[in-house]
Structure formats: C-alpha cells, structure tokens
C-alpha cells in the first residue's frame, strides 16, 4: 500500500487507544507503520536494486519485530538524553511505547500483503512471495474512510488544520489524475472521484459544525472496523472472481489443447466489481478481465490476450538473456514472467523483452516491470 494509507492506519490505531500507553505513542505508531519502506534506500543503487530488495527483509516477520523494537528504543534514548540535559525525569513509558510500536509495525506487511505486489514474510530463510490480491495498491476508499475520521480526531489546531488541508489537496489531485485515464477502469475511477468529493465535503461540513469535539476512541475503532468490513467484502468478491477466472481459463485452455497450471485474480483500480486475471498453461499465458456485474464466465474472446512461451531458438536466446543482472532482478520479482524474442532472422543480435504480465507486457516499458536485453545470435 501507499504511505498515506500506512500513516492513516498508524494514526488511527494511536487514537483507538495506543496513544494512552505512553507519551509520544502517536508519533511512534505513525513512524512504525511506515518504517518498513525504509528499504527504498536501495534506490541509491538503481531501480533493479530496488526491485530486488523492496518488500524484502524489512517486510518479513524478523524485520517487523526489529522495527517494532528499534523505533521505541531510539525514541526512548532521545528522551533520556533530552531529560538529562533539561534535568527532569523521562516521561516515556518504554513498555507501552514498545507495545504501540509492535502493533503499528505489524500492520505494514499485513496491508502490503493485501495487494498483488506481494510480500516475503519468511526472509531470510525463504524468499517465497505471498499475495493477498484483495486491494489495489492505492485505494481512495481507504484514504477517505480513515482520513476523514483521523482528520476529525486530530485537527484541533491551526497548524494541524493546515497540514490536513495540504494532505487532502495532494490526495484529491491524485484521485483527479486517476479519473482522467481512459479504458475499462475509467468509469469506476470517475465514480470514486464523485464519492471522494462528496465524502470530502461532508467531512469539511462536520468539522465546521464542531463534530470534531465529539469524536474519540470509539470513532477510531469504528474506522478500523469499517476497514475490516471492507476487506472482508473484497474477500468475498475475490472468491467469486477467482472461481470465474478458473472457469474461463479452463475454457480457453481447452480451445488450444492446453492445461492450466496456475491462475491469479487481482484487484482493479477503485472497482471491486472488476478483477484482472492472469492464467498460465503449459504453452502460454493469458490475461483477461472478470466482471462480477455481468456473467463472470461470459467473456469476449477478443478481450483475451494470449502470450506464447518461447520455444526452440527463442528459448535458447532467453536463457542467455536471463544471465543479465537486470533480468535476474525482474525474474526474481515477477509472478508471471514472460519473454518475447525479436530475432529479425537472428542476424547479429536479438532483443529479448522480459515483462511481468501482472503489470505490462513485453515491449511496453513500464518502470521496473519490464526490461529489454540484447543478446548475440548463436551464429555470430
């Protein structure tokens, strides 16, 4: 998930009761809820280093425990130093701060698990990826639910009101930018923009009428409960969509005399009724969308994209290209990796295009999710 969502969860947890455990518990909760993404420092290498290490050890069970301990320990050490300088007793209750930090830190890998990017919780012993496939990586409904209630609970000064206004503006710009896209998801994102606008105006209205003076711990608990209900609802929708995905995949595979080896059903942007599906057979990989509004198994065959796996000379060239560091980083991350070879009769060099079909296809550049590797032809 994005860091705004992580921050809102940490803040809401604090207001749900963690802030009573110790002074500075709110600050520590927000930091601990985000700290796992410190692995973005690997971007100092290059984007392939980031792809290799992001959602790695800091998102594992071991990393989460370490974060949960180190952040309150650091805060406690600073408080001790400040107290010594000012000649007063430390105010921090370390055990309470530790508990708040552990709870907040644990939410980060759990939330990241809910989307289709995945996490590796068993590092350093196993690099296996786990995927929840429930929530799109940026979800405006989570922002609105947690953000509105967190705003009402904490906008008790001009400085905080200004900060929240800035956050709201940036979030609104992101939602507006998303609503301008074209394609199958455009309608759903536009609906999300309407819901966002109404929710934002209602929240501002509640603040104007002084509702913020009446909210408290129960409000925060309600926000967290709504998040859980939302996840459960998405879980039921995913289960139906996954069944439709497998049915469609088997039908498509039968047309080509193939056998389905695995399939995944993944969320779409701001649309719990439309899911993106990827199915792999022994000879190809297919991508298509599943709708829960229409008959999920009644799919337009023209809307199915088929990607054949390399064979023969192409497979040999792919094997050579896989030795490249960039390809190794992508293949270590990719859930549905595919290679396409542009041989041009293989005179001189061939271009091997890798991609993770969750996000793009070979030949379409999209950040870290595809790479082109030139290799020498065997007859050169």
pLDDT at 284: 96
DSSP-derived secondary structure for 133-173: --S-SS-HHHHHHHHHHHHHHH--SHHHHHHHHHHHHHHHH
pLDDT at 182: 62
Q: What angle do CA 146, 212, 143 make, to 5 degrees?
A: 15
Does the pLDDT value for residue 379 go beyond 70?
Answer: no
Length of the chain: 380
- Tell me the average pLDDT across 189-210: 91
Quickly list H helices, the chain: 3-15, 25-34, 47-53, 61-86, 94-113, 140-154, 158-179, 186-208, 217-255, 313-321, 325-333
Does the pLDDT value for residue 177 go beyond 70?
Answer: yes
Counting residues of the chain whose pLDDT is more than 70, the rounded percentage is 94
pTM, two decimals, is 0.92
Q: Which of 103, 90, 94, 25 is nearest to 64 (CA)?
A: 103
Does the pLDDT value for residue 184 go beyond 70?
Answer: no
User: Higher model confidence: residue 230 or residue 350?
Assistant: 230
Which residues have CB under 8 Å from 274's CB, separation 6+?
Answer: 184, 185, 188, 268, 289, 290, 291, 292, 293
The dihedral through the CA atoms of 105, 107, 113, 117 has a sign that is: negative
User: Higher model confidence: residue 250 or residue 298?
Assistant: 250
Phi, psi of 248 (to 5 degrees): -65, -45
The dihedral through the CA atoms of 235, 239, 245, 246 has a sign that is: positive
pLDDT at 282: 94
Question: Within its chain, how far is the Cα of 67 from the centroid?
Answer: 20
For residues 178 and 173, what is the distance between their CA atoms, to the nearest angstrom?
9
- Tell me the average pLDDT across 181-205: 84
Confidence of residue 2 (pLDDT cuts 50, 70, 90): very high
When mean pLDDT is compared across 93-97, 184-188, 280-284, the lowest value belongs to: 184-188
pLDDT at 148: 94
Confidence of residue 293 (pLDDT cuts 50, 70, 90): confident
- Each residue of 295-352: pLDDT tens digit? 655 566 558 999 999 998 889 999 999 999 999 999 999 999 999 998 766 667 889 9
Buried b (16+ CB within 10 A) or exposed e, 300-334: eeeebeebebbeeebebbbebbbebebbebbeebb
Confidence of residue 166 (pLDDT cuts 50, 70, 90): very high
Cis peptide before 170 (omega within 30 of 0): no
CB atoms within 10 A of CB 224: 18
Does the pLDDT value for residue 210 go beyond 70?
Answer: yes
Q: Domain spans of the chain?
A: 1-113, 235-307, 309-376
Q: Average pLDDT, whole number, for the chain?
A: 91
pLDDT at 130: 97
Does the pLDDT value for residue 199 go beyond 90?
Answer: yes
Buried b (16+ CB within 10 A) or exposed e, 4-36: bbbbbbbbbbbbbebbebbbbbbbbbbbbbbbb
pLDDT at 286: 96
CB 195 within 8 A of CB 230: no
pLDDT at 8: 97
For residues 138 and 245, what is the distance between their CA atoms, to the nearest angstrom?
23
For residues 301 and 279, what is the distance between their CA atoms, to the nearest angstrom?
14
Q: Which of 327, 241, 245, 341 is nearest to 292 (CA)?
A: 241
Counting residues of the chain whose pLDDT is more than 90, the rounded percentage is 74
DSSP H or E segment with residue 271: strand 271-281
Does the pLDDT value for residue 102 go beyond 80?
Answer: yes
Orientation of helix 217-255 relative to helix 140-154, angle to 10°: 170
- Each residue of 252-287: pLDDT tens digit? 999 999 999 999 999 998 899 999 999 999 999 999
For residues 261 and 270, what is the distance between their CA atoms, to the nearest angstrom?
29
- Tell me the average pLDDT across 177-188: 72
CB atoms within 10 A of CB 73: 14
């Amino acid at each position: 998930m994005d860091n705004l969502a992580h921050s809102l969860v940490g803040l809401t947890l604090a207001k749900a009761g963690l802030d009573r455990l110790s002074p500075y518990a709110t600050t520590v909760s927000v930091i601990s809820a985000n700290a796992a993404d410190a692995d973005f420092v690997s971007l100092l290498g290059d984007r392939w280093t980031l792809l290799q290490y992001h959602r790695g050890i800091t998102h594992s069970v071991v990393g989460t425990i370490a974060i949960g301990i180190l952040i309150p320990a650091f805060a406690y050490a600073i408080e001790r130093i400040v107290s010594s300088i000012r000649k007063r007793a430390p105010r921090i209750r370390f055990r309470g701060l530790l508990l708040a930090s552990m709870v907040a830190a644990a939410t980060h890998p759990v939330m990241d698990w809910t989307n289709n990017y995945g996490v590796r919780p068993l590092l350093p012993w196993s690099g296996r990826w786990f995927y929840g496939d429930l929530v799109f990586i940026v979800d405006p409904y989570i922002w609105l639910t947690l953000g509105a209630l967190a705003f009402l609970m904490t906008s008790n000064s001009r400085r905080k009101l200004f900060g929240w206004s800035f956050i709201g503006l940036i979030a609104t710009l992101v939602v507006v930018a998303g609503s301008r896209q074209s394609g199958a998801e455009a309608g759903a994102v536009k609906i999300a923009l309407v819901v966002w606008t109404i929710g934002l105006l209602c929240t501002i209205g509640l603040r104007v009428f002084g509702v913020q003076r009446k909210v408290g711990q129960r409000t925060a608990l309600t926000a967290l409960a709504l998040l859980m209900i939302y996840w459960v609802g998405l879980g039921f929708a995913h289960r139906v969509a996954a069944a439709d995905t497998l049915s469609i995949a088997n039908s498509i595979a039968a047309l080509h005399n193939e056998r389905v080896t695995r399939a995944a059903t993944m969320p779409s942007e701001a649309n719990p009724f439309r899911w993106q599906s990827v199915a792999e057979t022994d000879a190809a990989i297919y991508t298509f969308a599943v709708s829960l509004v229409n008959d999920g198994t009644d799919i337009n065959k023209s809307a199915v994209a088929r990607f054949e796996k390399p064979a023969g000379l192409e497979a040999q060239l792919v094997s050579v290209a896989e030795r490249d560091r960039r390809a190794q980083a992508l293949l270590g991350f990719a859930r549905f990796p595919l290679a396409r070879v542009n041989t041009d009769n293989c005179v001189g060099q061939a271009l091997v295009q890798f991609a993770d079909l969750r996000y793009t296809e070979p030949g379409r550049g999209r950040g870290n999710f595809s790479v082109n590797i030139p290799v020498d032809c065997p007859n050169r």
